[in-house]
Structure 1
Amino acid sequence: MSRTPLPLPSTDDLRAALERVPARRVECAVGDFTSLARGKVVAASDFVGMAGCRLPSVVFGLTLTAGEPDAVFGPLLPEDYADVRLVPDLATLAPRPGRPGEATVICEPVGQLAVQGGEMSIQALSPRAALRHVLAQFRAAGLQALAAPELEMFLLKRTEHNGQVVLGAAEPYGHAGASERVTEVLCLERASHFDAYFDELYAACEVLGIPMTGHAHESALSQYEVNFAPGDPLAQADAVWRFKRLAREVALRHGFMASFAPKPFLDLPGTGMHWHFSVQRPADATWPHVFATPAGEDSPALHHFIAGLQRHAPAAMALFAPHDMAFDRIALSDASPSHASWGHEARSLAFRIPASGGSSRRIENRLPGGDANPYLTVAATLGLGLLGLREGALPVPGQPDALALPANLPHALNALAGSEALRGLLGSPLVEALVAIKRHEHDERRLLADPRQQWDMAYLLEAA
């Protein structure tokens, strides 16, 4: 699949950007299939001279535990770890919160690599580039999407007892012993104990342009939800990717842990990453809102969009629930859907239509967990919805067995590997690499005596 790479910025563009965001150093950050930021911090002069920086290609094929799957290294990435160029998207350049004299910018990998049987474009393994490709299809169809995410996270303390990881509610900074004892759903008093944490988080979000608009105590022990204002899907995926790192870093400074792991407590609700999507025609259209009629009713297009999501949801689950722990969230459900159901209002639905007027009609995708990659989540949701618009099918009501979702990660990965639709949207190299990495992680985890303790708590808790 041919994708348009990020344009290489000129020296003048780079210098002008660094005048707007003065910095002696620039953090070049790039996303892989995890939620972690990879990259380097380079001197501003080197950033201008290299128009970004260079990074070993190995990082785009590693598992969460730094494993190197045989199905990736050789067929899709070179075994000699050849370097690739990281090209910065200067629209994302911003001061790095709490680091005077340092800026941060989101980059994408660009370059051709020698692999078995020929050459490989490293851009084909970029989740962010995959999302840009899907959004280009929307523009070609004369459509524009808006996205608004809701993220859940746990604020935790982690201790060891008899060789086991024990999780508990975080204690507010300077208030030893003031941790939550029982779940205090939507409790403003408990949330206020973390005002200092959220004050710093809001301030840092403002610096980075992350549109965080509110927060509240959620329905599990020491669990909180944050809300973002609607915006451009690529900017929103960037914001979520940055926010997860930011929430973890700020939490550490306050003496506790922020975790987006999908099901850290088996007896409590899990961690979701819900996304609201709407689609518009050009602003000069008589009625620009694709998902509703001028009378405020659901439009046929909304139903077609949902039908596309329903049809391909089993394969997309490998993107929405990319770790074994994520299927604990679905099996031990607390409003975590197990079927590709749809309807109005009910939070047990996979694709929910919140109560809204015609101009704000939207679809909420409630399948993704906190461990999902935001770029792949948005690319899959919008891309499959666009396929539904093109096909014109109607969604299936209720929760028949035909709408059942995979019950475990291996079944989801098999569905993804066999999905021509998602290969067409994301590219076969990306699908093959993701499937190989996740199968490697699953095999590594299942050989352990206590997978939740030895894998999930050891790795996923802090890196989801």
Structure 2
Amino acid sequence: MKDLESWLKEHNITEIECVVSDINGIARGKIAPVSKFIAEKGMRLPESILLQTVTGDFVDDDVYYSLLDPADIDMICHPDPDAIFLIPWAQEPTAQVIHDCYDRVGNPIDLSPRNLLKRVLRLYEEQGWKPIVSPEMEFYLTKRCEDPDLPLQPPIGRSGRQETGRQSFSIDAANEFDPLFEDMYDWCEAQGLEIDTLIHEEGTAQMEINFRHGDPLAIADHVFVFKRTMREAALKHNVAATFMAKLFQMNRAVLCICTKVSWT
């Protein structure tokens, strides 16, 4: 277990992103100067943030009030010393620390995805089992798009051409975005993320990063941090990265054929 204060001093950290994961894997939390972080050793957040949607909206009232206290009480969040990571893309020396969520009497908050994973791992431990995981993270690269009502498009690579179809396992297609992936690998190394191979997946501008085998909780933290890292690397190179599935619209001719087949 790391000594947080010693680690922060060693890396000359001036700012801390205190984060928890909501149910969609989006980082929620507070940004604080390192002096305040050390003094308070935690933070309070409204429990309702765990149920926010990807757009920042809250779930329907029926679900909301069946799972949460109507008073929208705060949960107590404590930093995990083993879940601290540098933020290489920040202008100032900055780190992010993943926190665990508890209620006022110290019980883990059930809605916290990290607490849920810990509960599942305890069930394995009771059986004398130790699970090992190795996730594959698939994502799409896209052009930057300011209008959410417009369809996303594949980005333009180093050749100046836009990818238009499947390029499964193509080295040349992956190399179109070499500068982006070089930054991504450098940043992951700086954060201690256990990533392995990169491949071009089947979809248009769809990539995949494989993680090395490891402890489920540690790897889950790494995946959480990796998604932020990948998005930041993409933005640096004027494209976007998204982990949505089936991102691009189908060609109309293909859609008509599929529809005709489905009717027969």
Q: 2: distance between equivalents of 1:233 and 1:258? A: 24
When the two structures are superposed, what TM-score results if normalisation uses the length of structure 1? 0.50
Asked if 1:156 is matched to 2:142, the reply is yes
Q: 1:164 to 1:19 in 2, by over 3 A?
A: closer
Instruction: Say if 2:162 is the partner of 1:168.
Output: no
Superposed CA RMSD: 2.8
Q: What is residue 223 of structure 1 aligned with on the other side?
A: 206
Q: Is the 8 A contact 1:96 1:102 kept in 2?
A: yes
Which residue in the other structure is 1:255 paired with?
A: 238
What letter corresponds to residue 60 of structure 1 in structure 2? L
Please state how far the C-alpha of 1:130 moved relative to its aligned partner: 1.0
- Superposed CA offset, 1:51-78 (max 9, x none): 1222222212323331242234444323
Question: Secondary structure at 2:163's aligned position in 1?
Answer: coil
Aligned residues of 2:100 and 2:114 also touching (Cα < 8 A): yes
Change (3 A) 1:142 1:49: same
Q: CA deviation at 1:122?
A: 6.1
Distance 1:63 1:79 in 2: 19
Aligned-pair CA distance for 1:195? 0.8
User: Residue 197 in 1 paired to residue 188 in 2?
Assistant: no
5 Å-filtered alignment, 1:40-439, equals 40-65=30-55, 66-99=57-90, 100-112=92-104, 123-157=109-143, 159=145, 164-172=149-157, 175=158, 177-265=160-248, 267=250
The letter for the 1-side match of 2:83 is: T
Amino acid at match of 2:58: G
> Matched residues in 2 for 1:158 and 1:256: separation?
5
What amino acid does structure 2 have at the position aligned with 1:98? W
CA distance in 2, matches of 1:94, 1:131: 20
Contact 2:15 2:94 in 1 (8 A): yes
Is 1:61–1:77's contact at 8 Å kept on the other side of the alignment? no
User: 1:168 corresponds to which letter in structure 2?
Assistant: Q
SS at match of 1:146: coil
Pair 183,208 (structure 1): closer, same or farther in 2 beyond 3 Å: same
| Aligned equivalents of 1:185, 1:61: Cα separation in 2 | 36
- Shift of residue 31, structure 1, vs aligned partner: 0.6
Q: For residues 115 and 217 of structure 2, what CA distance do their matches in structure 1 show?
A: 10
Cα distance in structure 1, aligned partners of 2:151 and 2:233:
22
- 1:42 touches 1:53 (CA, 8 Å); kept in 2? no
Distance 1:76 1:232 in 2: 30
Tell me whether 1:36 sits opposite 2:26 in the alignment.
yes
SS of equivalent to 2:77: strand
Aligned AA (1:212): I
- Following TM superposition, by how much is the alpha carbon of 1:251 offset from its aligned partner in structure 2, in angstroms? 0.7
Amino acid at match of 1:147: V
Change (3 A) 1:106 1:164: closer
SS of alignment partner, residue 164 of structure 2: coil
Cα 1:182–1:107, aligned 2, differ >3 Å: closer, same or farther?
Answer: same
Q: Deviations over 1:166-185 (max 9, x none)?
A: 3322123xx48322133222
Cα deviation 1:306-365 (Å, max 9, x = unaligned): xxxxxxxxxxxxxxxxxxxxxxxxx99xxxxxxxxxxxxxxxxxxxxxxxxxxxxxxxxx
Q: Is the 8 A contact 1:149 1:227 kept in 2?
A: yes
Shift of 1:220: 1.5
* CA distance 1:86–1:164, shift in 2 (3 Å): closer
Secondary structure of 1:39 counterpart: strand
Are the equivalent residues in 2 in contact too, given 1:21–1:103 (CA < 8 A)?
Answer: no
**Distance in 1 (alpha carbons) for counterparts of 2:80 and 2:87:** 15
Rounded Cα–Cα distance in structure 2 between residues aligned with 1:79 and 1:222: 44
Unaligned runs of 5+ in 2: 252-257, 260-264
The 1:239–1:183 alpha-carbon spacing in structure 2 relative to 1, beyond 3 Å, is: same
Moved over 4 A (4+): 158-161
CA contact (8 A) 1:28 1:86 kept: no
Where does the alignment leave 5 or more consecutive residues of structure 1 unmatched? 1-8, 114-119, 269-330, 333-464
Letter in 1 for 2:162: S
CA contact (8 A) 2:154 2:205 kept: yes
Secondary structure of the residue aligned to 1:156 is strand
Aligned equivalents of 1:153 and 1:248: distance in 2?
A: 10
Structure 1 SS opposite 2:67: coil
Displacement of 1:266 in angstroms is 5.0
Corresponding letter in the other structure for 1:103: A
Give distance in 1, aligned partners of 2:59 and 2:70: 10
1:125 is aligned with what amino acid?
Answer: L
Matched residue pairs, number?
A: 251
Shift in Å, 1:132: 0.9
